[in-house]
């Protein structure tokens, strides 16, 4: 319990300091675009009611979840295949390097031509942007599978799906989760960008509407909601990562103690 409380203090100290600095720096502000933090916080409960969260935040989270899950499935599957076979990697590598260099927001108008302006377009934008860090990290993780472990599995007749499940994916999982973590932050950014194009709901749409209507304190509350959403998703991701990679973190802790 004491360790948890100390960790909680460490986590909350910097945000508390930043909020205090923001409060002090903006307290006497008369700039319409830079309202005092107390005004923003006072506006927050009036803007983000349960109904608004249901109509704007929930659709955004569902789109993000669908795009992120699609990117995870495609990225891990393709990355495993590409990382496992040298010839496949040699053929795909130039194309992958070209495609990942194209910023996903640039593709929004193109995707709109094929997928329309509905939910499908927004999910595709998120998926296309998130897939690259997952795919490339999976490729590197699969390539880095310990050769001794691979040979041992082969000598014991562990091949095919059994080898993939018990050797390749566990060995590559730390690298895969590194890609998943990168993709999560990218997904939140693309969620907002996709909702700024021909949308009728969502957090990105709402923030833009506030900005266009010169409801500046309301706009700042939307930015705070996006920050809180990113923080909560990061906490959930860390909990999942610790559970799935418990063996890896335990091994690292043991290695550090033995040095």
Q: What pLDDT score was predicted for residue 259?
A: 62
The pLDDT tens digits of the residues spanning 137-164 come to: 999 998 887 777 777 777 777 777 777 7
Q: Are 137 and 176 in contact (CB under 8 A)?
A: yes
What's the pLDDT score for residue 257? 66
- Each as own residue / partner, the long-range contacts of residues 14-17 (CB below 8 Å, 24 or more positions apart, any chain) are none
207 lies in a domain? no
* Residue 208 contacts residue 201 (beta carbons within 8 Å): no
Terminal-residue alpha carbon distance, the chain: 28
> Which pLDDT value is given to residue 251?
65
Going by pLDDT thresholds of 50, 70 and 90, the confidence category of residue 37 is very high
**What average pLDDT does this structure show over 201-225?**
93
pLDDT > 70? residue 228: yes
Least confident of 71-85, 118-132, 243-257: 243-257
- Please give the backbone phi and psi of residue 90, each rounded to the nearest 5 degrees, phi first: -65, -35
pLDDT of residue 148: 73
Is residue 46 situated within a structural domain? no
Sign (positive or negative) of CA dihedral 27, 229, 106, 82 = positive
The packing angle between helices 203-212 and 216-244, to 10°, is: 160
Domain for residue 137, yes or no?
A: yes
Rounded to an integer, the average pLDDT of 42-47 is 93
Instruction: For residues 228 and 234, give the distance between their C-alpha atoms in angstroms, rounded to a whole number.
Output: 10
162 domain-assigned: yes
CA-to-CA distance for 74 and 119, rounded, in angstroms?
A: 19
CA distance 51 to 30: 31
- Domain that includes residue 86, residue range: 57-199
Q: What is the pLDDT of residue 101?
A: 81
Mean of pLDDT values over 103-114: 79
Residue 140 C-alpha from the chain's centroid:
19
Q: How many Å apart are CA 30 and CA 38, to the nearest integer? A: 13
Kindly state whether residue 114 falls inside one of the protein's structural domains: yes
Residue 98: its pLDDT value, please?
A: 83
Q: What is the CATH number of the domain that holds 185?
A: 1.10.3720.10
**Confidence label for 12 from pLDDT (cuts 50, 70 and 90):** confident
Mean of the per-residue pLDDT values for the chain?
A: 86
**Domain tally, the chain:** 1
The contacts of residue 107 (CB under 8 Å, 6+ apart) are: 125, 128
* Domain annotation covers residue 33: no
- Residue 117: inside a domain: yes
pTM for the model stands at 0.88
Residue 164 in any domain: the answer is yes
């Amino acid at each position: 319990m004491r360790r948890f409380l100390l960790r909680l203090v460490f986590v909350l100290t910097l945000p508390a300091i930043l909020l205090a600095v923001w409060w002090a720096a903006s307290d006497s502000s008369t700039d319409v675009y830079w309202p005092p933090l107390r005004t923003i916080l006072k506006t927050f409960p009036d803007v983000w009611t349960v109904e608004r969260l249901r109509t704007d935040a929930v659709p955004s989270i569902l789109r993000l979840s669908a795009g992120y899950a699609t990117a995870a499935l495609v990225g891990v599957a393709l990355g495993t295949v590409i990382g496992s076979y040298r010839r496949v990697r040699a053929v795909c590598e130039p194309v992958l390097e070209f495609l990942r260099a194209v910023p996903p927001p640039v593709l929004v108008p193109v995707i709109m031509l094929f997928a329309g302006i509905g939910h499908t377009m927004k999910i595709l934008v998120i998926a296309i942007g998130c897939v690259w860090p997952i795919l490339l990290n999976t490729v590197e993780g699969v390539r880095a599978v310990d050769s001794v472990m691979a040979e041992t599995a082969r000598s014991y007749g562990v091949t095919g799906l059994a080898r993939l499940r018990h050797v390749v994916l566990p060995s590559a999982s730390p690298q895969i989760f590194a890609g998943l973590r990168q993709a999560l932050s990218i997904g939140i950014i693309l969620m907002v960008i996709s909702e700024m194009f021909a949308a009728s709901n969502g957090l990105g749409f709402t923030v833009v509407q506030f900005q266009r209507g010169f409801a500046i304190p309301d706009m700042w509350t939307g930015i705070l909601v996006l920050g809180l959403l990113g923080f909560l998703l990061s906490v959930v991701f860390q909990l999942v990562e610790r559970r799935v990679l418990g063996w890896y973190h335990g091994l690292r802790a043991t290695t550090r103690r033995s040095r």
